[in-house]
Structure formats: structure tokens, C-alpha cells
């Protein structure tokens, strides 16, 4: 049903269905196999769908929940899937901005720290997910390119997007 709602461009309906999936998650022993993703993946889908539905409050709640599940306590070591966590932090900063909440800039800085900077022209160490996440974070940090720092962020984002085929980030950078 969630997939059908996605195809029919019905974000409010899809959001309700994703909420139902999350409520039933613990009652279904093979939920990850049935849905093709883990619980944080469903939370990410819900977060992105809430954004499409214009429900920033719920998007923020889903982002917080996804981060809670993906980011282990500091004593357990670094977070798994840094690009994934970085993307959620970036999206959380957007929700905070729209809701007039503090902490968005801190989220962006934490997100940027999770994905490596480009080392000269050598990007062999970057995965596509890391490069795309970094480009999206840089663009959120410099939405208008008004200052020299903003333009440098935009230029790095554009170069990463082009090199790794991140079309959406390239369009935003342009």
C-alpha cells in the first residue's frame, strides 16, 4: 500500500500508511524482509514523506527517531552508515529551520563532520552516498551563495554532484 501511495503522489496517505507500518513493526517477526528495509529505513521514508506533505513537526519527530536508532551511544563506538546519519541530520536541520527551532546549524556541522571532505582531485575514497550527502549538506549550509564561503560550498557541492552523478544536488547547486 505504501508503494502504491508513492506512485499515486499521495504523501498524506503514504504518511498514514508508514505510521501504521511503524506501529506494527514489533508485532511482525520478519518485518525487515517483508518491507525490504530496516526500521530506521521506514523512519527515513516517513521523514521524507512528512516533508512532502508539509508536516515539518512529524518530519522532525521521524528524524529524531531514526537518529536514535542509527546513532549508538558514544561508548559503543562511531555511528554506522555515516552518510545515512549525515543525510538525516541535514534533513533534521531543514525541519528545525521551518519550525523556527534552534540547533539546525549544529546539525549541519555534525553532518558535515560525518562525511569526508574531498582531498584535492582524488575522490576514490568517497562513496556515492557520502559524496551525495556531503553535497546536499554543503548546499543547505549555503543556500544563496551570498558570501565567498557560501560560493566555495556551492562549488564543492557542484563538483561532487557532477563527479558522482547526483543529479538533484547538481540542479540545486546550479
3-state secondary structure of 38: coil
Q: Distance (Å, rounded) from C-alpha 173 to C-alpha 75?
A: 37
Q: Note the maximum CA span of the chain.
A: 53
pLDDT at res. 73: 47
Asked if residues 21 and 35 have their Cβ atoms less than 8 Å apart, the reply is: yes
Radius of gyration of the chain (CA): 17
Does residue 116 have a pLDDT over 90? no
Of all residues in the chain, what percent carry a pLDDT higher than 90? 64
Q: Which residue has the higher pLDDT, 146 or 19?
A: 19
pLDDT at res. 11: 84
Tens digits of residue pLDDT in 72-96: 644 455 556 889 999 999 999 999 9
Band of residue 7 on the pLDDT scale cut at 50, 70, 90: low
Q: Distance (Å, rounded) from C-alpha 83 to C-alpha 153?
A: 18
Does residue 156 have a pLDDT over 70? yes
Does residue 3 have a pLDDT over 80? no
Record the pTM.
0.85
3-state secondary structure of 30: coil
Amino acid at each position: 500500500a505504501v508503494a502504491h501511495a508513492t506512485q499515486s503522489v499521495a504523501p498524506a496517505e503514504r504518511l498514514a500508511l508508514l505510521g501504521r507500518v511503524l506501529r506494527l513493526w514489533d508485532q511482525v517477526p520478519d518485518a525487515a524482509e517483508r518491507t525490504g528495509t530496516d526500521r530506521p529505513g521506514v523512519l527515513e521514508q516517513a521523514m521524507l514523506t512528512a516533508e512532502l506533505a508539509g508536516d515539518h513537526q512529524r518530519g522532525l519527530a521521524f528524524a529524531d527517531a531514526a537518529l536514535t536508532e542509527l546513532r549508538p551511544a558514544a561508548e559503543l563506538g562511531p555511528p554506522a552508515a555515516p552518510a545515512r546519519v549525515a543525510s538525516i541530520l541535514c534533513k533534521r536541520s531543514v525541519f528545525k529551520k521551518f519550525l523556527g527551532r534552534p540547533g539546525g546549524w549544529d546539525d549541519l556541522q555534525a553532518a558535515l563532520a560525518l562525511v569526508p571532505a574531498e582531498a584535492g582531485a582524488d575522490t576514490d575514497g568517497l562513496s556515492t552516498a557520502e559524496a551525495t550527502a556531503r553535497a546536499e549538506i554543503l548546499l543547505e549550509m549555503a543556500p544563496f551563495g551570498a558570501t565567498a564561503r557560501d560560493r566555495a560550498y556551492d562549488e564543492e557541492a557542484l563538483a561532487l554532484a557532477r563527479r558522482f552523478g547526483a543529479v538533484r544536488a547538481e540542479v540545486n547547486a546550479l
